[in-house]
Structures are given as structure tokens and as C-alpha cells.
Chain A
Amino acid sequence: MGFALHEAKTLAEATMLARDLGPDAMFIAGGTDLIIQINRRVNTPRDVIDLSRIAGLSGISHAGGVFRIGALTKHKTVETYPAFGFGTPYAGLREAARVVGGHQIRNQGTVGGNLANASPAADLIPPLLALDAELDLVGPSGTRTLPLNAFFLGPRRSVRAHDEIITEVRFRDLPPLSAIAFLKAGRRKAMEISIISVAARLTLEADGRCRDARIALGAAAPTPIRAREAEALLEGGVPDEGVVAMSARAALTSVSPIDDVRASSEYRRLLVAALVPRALKICIDRIKSARS
């Protein structure tokens, strides 16, 4: 039942180790998902490869119109990164990062772990989907880049091979008149796995019409998803109350939530219908107040 712990110093060392040790080897970053899975025997790795000592995988940078978030960046760093603060177009990222677990978890858990774990309820995924993020995977035989929305296959399943490491996730600057908002519903206000989470992003034209809309939902389907029909309904028109309500109804066509101990499928659908308009309204308000 025990496992051997390997400390990798470089990316190459880590990926080679993983390749050589085979599929019973797993990477560990903050361990806030993996250790619990090991304790509950959801995962029984024979070898665990620690990534936390690999240099260059941590921190957020902004250059050339691109934000890069290293895979080992802690949720706390995202939460406190000034360019994602309230009053910036990226506030939705902070809203997601600040509701991951409690302070201890946010100081320990990483963005890369949140993505790699591929939980349909992972909180950072919807806002990153709404930002059209892409990620880099480094394996023993090279690097590949994928749009984040092509990464997930199902609950806890992704296209990542067992010896591939997520090194960073990045997204381009939003155009002017943009905002993103994130809402999460749980039984209590913090320390909760999302029953439903919603990230909405709007970019408006100067005349108030919607140029671009993204609606990403967590815990609404086997993977985090985009509600594309709802997005299409918003684009090109003025997002008034009627359109917002219509797009919320349209979002329901994209979802296939499960029943579990946290909520019924029916309740999750009700939440999608209630939270999508709330999130869109927050985006509109944010764009308006940034303009004035």
C-alpha cells in the first residue's frame, strides 16, 4: 500500500522517470487532491513523483499581451495577483481562486493540479475556459499545446498521457469593454465542492452590442463545459434582460448534470438557469462601471 517518493529536479528528469516507472507512477504537486485519493484508495500509485522542486513552473507573468500561469502556481497567488483584482476585467479569476477550499488549501493547491485532476467541479477551469486558455504539456518526447477545452475527456480523465506534465496555462489579454465573472453554488459559502459553478465573459461593442460571449459551467456535465448555444444567442445582439433570460434557458441544453449527495440533477439545472443570468449581469455591470 505504500509508495515510493521521487523528487525530480528538472522537467526532463520527471517525465523520464514517469515514462520508466510506467502508468503506476503519478505526479504530485500540492497533493491536496492526490493525497486524499490515496487515503481513500481511489488512486494507488506505486511511485509518486514530486514536481514541486522543479524550477520555473511557478508564478504568473504578463508580457506581449499574454498572461502565463505556471502549473505550480498556488491558488493564493492567483487570488492575490493584482492584475486579476476587483476592478480589472479578470476579476472572475480571483473570484474562482478565492473560493477554492480554505486558506490552507489555497496556499498548497496548484493551478496545474486543479486542471490535471480534471474534476468536473474544479473551480479554476470555468474561468480559464471562458478566457479561451490554452495549455502546454511536456512529455518525454516533446511539448504539445492544446486549447483547454480540448483537454478534458470525462470525470478525472483528460488527454494527458501519464508521463506528460502540464507546465503552464495561458490566455490573451481581453479586448476593451470585457469582463469575466464567476459564481459558485454550494451548501455553504466556502469550503465546498461546487454543486454548479458558472463563469461568464462578455466583450461588448461601443454601441452596447455583444461582440463575444463565453459561458462555462462546472459540475454540470462529465467535464467542465462551454454552453455554446447560450453564447451564440448573446453574440451580435444587445444583452438586455430578455436575451439574458433566453441564453440562460439555452444553457440548459448543454448540461447533463448528475444526481449525487450534494444535489439532484434537477436542482443543478435550476441553478444553471438562475446563475447564468446573475453572472451575465455582473459582467455587464462591470463593463459599465469600468467605462464610467
Chain B
Amino acid sequence: MSVEAPAATGNMGEPHPRFDARLKVTGGARYASDMPVDNPAYAYLVTSAIARGRIVSINLGEAQNVPGVLHIMTHENTSKDVKDSKLFSDGGFSGTSIIPLQSDKVWHDGQIVAVVVAETYEAAREAGYRVKIEYEAEQPSATFESNGVQVQAAADVKKTHEDPKVGDFDGAFASAEVKVDATYFTPTQHHNPIELFTTTCAWAGDKLTVYEPSQTMYGMKNGIASQLGIEPEQVRVVSNFVGGAFGSKGSLTPRTALTAIAARRVGRPVKLVATRQQGFTIATYRAETKQRVRLGASRDGKLTALSHEGWEVTSRPDNYMVAGTDATTRMYDVANVQSKVSIVHADRNTPGFMRSPPELPYMFGLESAIDELAYALDIDPIELRRKNDTMKEPIKGLPYTSRSVMQCFDEGAKSFGWSKREPKPGSMRDGDWLVGLGCAMSCYPTQMAPSSARVRLSQNGELRVETASHEIGNGAYTVIGQIAAERLGVPYEKVSVVLGDSDYPAAPVSGGSITTASVCNCVAEACDAIRAELGINDPKGDVLAALKSRGRGAIERYAEWTPKGVPDGALAKLYSGQAMPTGGTKDKERIMFAFGAEFIEVRVHQRTREIRVPRIVGAFAAGRIVNPRTARSQLMGGLIWGVSSALHEATEIDKRAARYVNKDLAEYLVPVNADIDQLEVFMIPEEDHEVNPLGIKGIGELGNVGTNAAVANAVYHATGKRIRDLPIRLETLLA
């Protein structure tokens, strides 16, 4: 698809092309594993063949005989080397508390059980194949319904967890005139960034440099230090470009410390590039969920009762959860609400953030149920949403800082041609194809975290911005540069932005769609400090002329920015790699969300049940759009991923072995270009200066929320079949 850049309307910024576009398509962008190091050795991971049990013996004889092998790490020689394994949510840095090579215990299939280091990758791999391990296997529990899983209420395991609740759900539901009571399932999914999980570690004396694609420079710096028992000052982390992360590179995985230990032992840099298959078990993933949604409404379509219960799979030792009820209980005006989240411990690796972690699965439940209610009431699904739209969240009665969801629905509906939709399921056809039109609401909390940055304006007009934030495809280089240029009235071409190096001022984890809002507000503050220093308070005043007239070579300002409502000490936490985002539903006085409306046309062949998606329309309102070109691209990617998560993506689990079976991109399906036809993105201008001074909401994760429900709703409209278990595949429609 090739279309013009969207014009900047309203309060939008300029649609500059992505700074790194050319670098990326010409190979000029250096990813972590491209970074040259002197005389590297190569590591290969050996992973467990069982999901639960223990290692009885390891025979390294054959492996050690492979020419070029330098060292092999197993629990027998490494159990004391990793000092800290605390989960990020317990004040640690790791995405899992399962640190391999600590003991003979096997917690999940594909756990790292040995690391081979050799002169070449091939030798390391060959030796890896020859490591002989004998296990004592126990029957593992794979997922929901498996024997031996342990179910716990989220509120019992996490003190900060709240199950939102208000009014009297039971009473209101019992007396509701119209009801929906349905159970939904979302599948296991893996991020599968094209850039694999790689780590290169190089020691110089007691100083360690880590090249690793990461969404958290300071989290890595501090996390590695604490895992290795050294000072953070001894660690530098470099990650100038990230080839896709989607959450998978947002917390520490065990491979980093192991690679650092390997490098220390062999006395030279060690490079690890884990395989695609290993990526499924050495990092995190989106766990499968089961949800029960109950809605009660009056005949005229006013919601009176909402209950959302969720069950999520996690590993044996970790209490990871996404708890999307935090959002879904606040989307509509309804007086009686209850919710509950439970986690189900199974013999699996620990799940973690994956693009829109809470909203993607939980909005599928809510927005499917709303559609079901619309049919039960015989009301247009958009009108049902309008009827229950609200400017106040129902749980605590806090006002939305802004909420343009109905504008999104109206704008999107117009372009999509919603008015031509025949309401009855199965009533629209084109030859052998059943046509279905569906829609759903999209939402994402507006979150921010403390940030720091340094800005320098030089006499030659060059403007340099330094911050340890991350380019994960989010356009960070571009939008940060734009804000700095605009704030100081310098041409955008004169700005250079440097990111992805823990030697720069600390920036928060690039997760939760916080980067643009957090870093740009901070950079704007540094720019304002430069203006103030030069005495140019008029936004149109010539800063460069002032700099020159004062005879100065350059002026540099460092700024720290904290969003409203963060607890004291947040900046110190930022530097120790632990700053947590605030905003969204966490603020005490107001609630902040970005919204969207998504429309899908599906075609289902009446005989073969092939499913096609000829049209996708998304309309979004997310505060100030800094760059409509990169924003559209982000939203487009989200919509496509949303369709993918509805129709294609699922990690299949062998329930007997608790093992993922489709661990590559041939079997883990994502749509190809030919699967995606027309796609339109609208950005509705929205001004919201309550969220933060620049009025920026995040858009990184907005696009793929609700899409799965819109697809399922369209499939229902086409076929009359309500599919509550994703992905929707032709065999589900045949049955």
C-alpha cells in the first residue's frame, strides 16, 4: 500500500518521514547483534526437553570434544552466579523469577539448561546438540482444565490489586430486562519480533557493556548489576535500534546475566543469538485467558449491570497478571459493576507484557458482549454504545480528562458506510460470499512516567537531544526531534536525537505507550530552560540569534520531568530503573484514556468458509498527534495485528507435554500482505491539556485493542455464528 502522508490537521504536528526509515531499508541501522566486538566467542542455549521435573545427570563428554568449544555452563558450575531473581513487579527487574542454571529443577518446557560457548556459532550449536541430559520427568499441567493447576484470586496474591466494584451487581442483574451471559477465550500468543533475542556482552576490566535490543536501558543496567552482584555504574547497555519488541524486550530475561557470566569466564566477548524456537520459551508471551461477561440492560438499552471475571495462566512461581477489568469496568455508564481476576498457575514459562497486555484480551470479552447485547435488544451496536457513553467512569465517579469515543464512531461509521448495513445476521451477500460488518470500541490508558533528558543548542544551529529512551519502531527518534525543533524554533533537519544508551540521562521503560508523552514533555522542559536562560520567552523569538549575540558557543540544559500525581522519589526510582508509569486509572482525581472505533468487513465463503477481510477502518482520538505519518503507521500496524489476533495468531500447546508446538513463523501464522486489503486510519483532533502539558496521549497500543471483537462481531453478522474463542478459523465456522 502506498498513500500520501496524512495532512496535519487541528493540533497535529508535521508528518515528517521517520528519521530511521532510510537507515532501516538500507541496512544502515545497526541492531544490537550487529555491533562489532573484538574477538567474540559464540553462545548457544540448550533448552529442556521436559516441562516439569529435574535434571538427573548431564553428560558433557561428547559436547566438550567438539572442536572449538571453550566452556559449557550448567547448574553444576553456575548455581551461585546469579544473585537476584526478583520479578519486576516485586521490586526486581526480571520478567521471570525462574532463573536457569540455579538448580536441577525444571519449571517449564524449553527452559535454559546449559549454555555452550565456542569459537563459532556452528561449533557451539553442534556441541549443544551433543549435551546429553537425563531427566526425571513429572506430569506437567499445561493450561486451564489441566490436572494440577493452582487457581488463586488476584486480590489474594497481590496487595495492590483491586477488583473494581460498585453498586449491587447481583440484584441489578437478577432484575435486568435483557441479559447477556457469555464466556470468552483468548489464546496464547507470542510477540515474535523479527529481530531475535540477542545479547552480546563484553567486559573491560570490571566494566561490562551489554548490547541487547531492549525497551528498558536503565532497567537492564540496574537489573544486570543486581543479578551479577556488581554496581550499576559498572554496566553500560547499548541498544540504538530495536527490531520489534512489543513488550518482549521490556524486562530482563535470564539470558543476559548468563551471557555476561559466560564472557567473564572465557575472558572475551560473547555473542548470543537465540533461535526463533527458543524465543518462545526463554522470554515472555501473552497468556491465554478465559472470561465470563454478564451484562444486564433495560429494554431501551440502558446498561444496568456489568460483571467481568477473568482467568489468566501464569507460571508456577510467578503471580504475573494483566487484569484488564481495570479498564473494562470503566468504559460504560453502568451503576452496578463487579469484577474478579484469578490467576491459574501451570508448568509454563512466565508470561509478560505483550502489546496492550490487559486491554487486548479483556476488551475482546467486553466488546463481544456489548455486540451480543445489541442483538438481544435489537438496537444498532453504535447506538447502544452512544446510549451508555459517559464522561465519568462509574467505579469512583472520576471524570475523563477527555473522551471522544462517539466522535470516533461517527467519523468511522461515515467512511465505512455503516448506514448501508442490514442489521440481520446473514442478510448481506455478494455471490457466494456472506458479508458481515462489525465494530468495536478501542481504548488505551494514557500513562506517563518520570523522564530526564539533555538538550544542547550550538552556535552553528545544531540541536542535540540525549536521553536513554528507545527506538522500538515507535518513531521515538523522529517525534522527540520534532518537539525539540518546534520548541526552540530550529529547523527539524538540524536536530539530532541520540537514544538507546544507558550513559545518557534516564528515560522510563518504553512500555504502556508512555514514551512520546513522557520523553517529549521532558525535552520540552529542557528547551524551555534554554529559552529562559537566553531570556527569549516569546515562542516566536529567535533563540539562535540570542545565543550568538551573547557570544556563547553552545547552551546545554538537563531536565527532569515528573507527571502530575507521581509519588515522591519517582525520579530516584527512574535512575534505579524502576519507575512505574502513572495516569490511566491510577490517578486519584481523574481518569485518562485514548479511544477509538474500529470497523471491519468480513467475507465468509458460504461453502468453504474461507474468511477474508476486505476492509478495515479505524478512527482514533488520542490527544495531540505529534507526527500524523508515524502515528498512522503505528495505528495501521495495530489494526493489522488486531485482525491477526482474531483470525490467525495462536500458540498451540501440546497439553500432555505442556509444550508449544508451532514455534516458528511457518506455523505461527500472521497475516501476509495479501490478507490485508483496504485499510483506513482517521485521527480525530483532540485537545487535552490535563493529561500532560503537551497534551499527548499514547497511541502505541491503541490500534490493536478491540479489533478482535470487531472481527468476531462482523463474523456473527455475516454468518449468525457467535465465535467466543479466538482465533476464528474456518473450521470453527464449518462446525
Measured CB to CB, the residues of A under 8 A from B are 1-2, 102, 185, 187-191, 193, 261, 263-264, 267, 270-271, 273-275
Contact = CB atoms under 8 A, between A and B. Distances in A.
A271 B675 contact: no
B734 interface: yes
Contacts of A188: 648, 669, 671-672, 674-675
Interface string B128-149: 0100000000000000000000
Nearest to A191: B672
A273 B607 CA distance: 9
B610 interface: yes
Q: How large is the interface on B (under 10, 10 to 19, 20 to 34, 35 or more residues)?
A: 20 to 34
Contact of B674 (A189, A193, A271, A275): A189
A270 B126 contact: no
Given A2-B126, A185-B610, A187-B648, A267 B672 contact: no
Shortest 6 CB-CB contacts between residues of A and residues of B: A189-B674, A190-B672, A190-B674, A274-B608, A274-B607, A189-B675
B729 to A, nearest CB: 7
Interface string B601-613: 0000101101000
B672 A189 contact: yes
19 contacts: A1-B126, A102-B672, A185-B608, A185-B610, A187-B729, A188-B669, A188-B672, A188-B674, A189-B675, A190-B672, A190-B673, A190-B674, A261-B667, A263-B731, A267-B730, A270-B607, A270-B734, A274-B605, A274-B607
Nearest to B662: A261
B129 A1 contact: yes
Contacts of B673: 190
A200 B662 CA distance: 33
Contact of B731 (A1, A264, A275): A264
A275 B729 CA distance: 19
Interface in B645-683: 648, 652, 662, 666-667, 669, 671-675
A190 B666 CA distance: 11
A2 B662 CA distance: 26
B616 to A, nearest CB: 15
Interface of B: 126, 129, 605, 607-608, 610, 648, 652, 662, 666-667, 669, 671-675, 729-731, 734
B669 A187 contact: yes
Contacts of A2: 126
A271 B129 contact: no
Nearest to B644: A188
A192 B176 CA distance: 48
Contacts of B608: 185, 270-271, 274-275
Q: By DSSP majority rule, is chain A's interface helix, strand, loop, or mixed?
A: loop
A191 B671 CA distance: 9
A183 B652 CA distance: 28
A267 B675 contact: no
A196 B244 CA distance: 34
A267 B648 contact: no
Contacts of A102: 672
Contacts of A187: 648, 669, 729-730
B727 to A, nearest CB: 10
Given A188-B674, A189-B675, 20 more contacts: A1-B129, A2-B126, A185-B610, A187-B730, A188-B675, A190-B672, A190-B674, A190-B675, A191-B666, A261-B652, A261-B662, A263-B731, A264-B731, A267-B734, A270-B607, A270-B608, A271-B608, A273-B607, A274-B605, A275-B608
A191 B648 CA distance: 13
Contacts of A271: 608
Nearest to B730: A267
Contacts of A274: 605, 607-608
B614 to A, nearest CB: 12
Contacts of B129: 1
B156 to A, nearest CB: 39
A236 to B, nearest CB: 28
A267 B662 CA distance: 21
A191 B674 CA distance: 10
A267 B731 contact: yes
B223 to A, nearest CB: 33
B73 to A, nearest CB: 22
Nearest to A263: B731
Contacts of A275: 608
A1 B126 CA distance: 8
A50 B456 CA distance: 58
B68 to A, nearest CB: 12
Q: Which of B129, B608, B675 has the most CB of A within 10 A?
A: B608
Contacts of B669: 187-188
Contacts of A264: 731
A157 B662 CA distance: 26
Contacts of B666: 191, 193
A265 to B, nearest CB: 12
Contacts of B729: 187
Contacts of B672: 102, 188-191
A169 to B, nearest CB: 26
Contacts of A189: 672, 674-675
A168 B195 CA distance: 39
Contacts of A263: 731
A18 B610 CA distance: 45
A38 B648 CA distance: 28
Contacts of A193: 666
A148 B674 CA distance: 31
B674 to A, nearest CB: 4
A289 to B, nearest CB: 19
A2 B674 CA distance: 38
A264 B729 CA distance: 13
B735 to A, nearest CB: 11
A272 to B, nearest CB: 10
A190 to B, nearest CB: 4
A154 B607 CA distance: 30
Contacts of A270: 607-608, 734
A273 B126 CA distance: 48
A256 B188 CA distance: 33
Nearest to B275: A39
Nearest to B671: A188
A270 B730 CA distance: 12
Contacts of B675: 188-190
Contacts of B731: 263-264, 267
A78 B608 CA distance: 30
A271 B730 CA distance: 12
B74 to A, nearest CB: 21
Contacts of B648: 187-188
Contacts of A1: 126, 129
Q: Which of B129, B662, B667, B730 has the most CB of A within 10 A?
A: B730
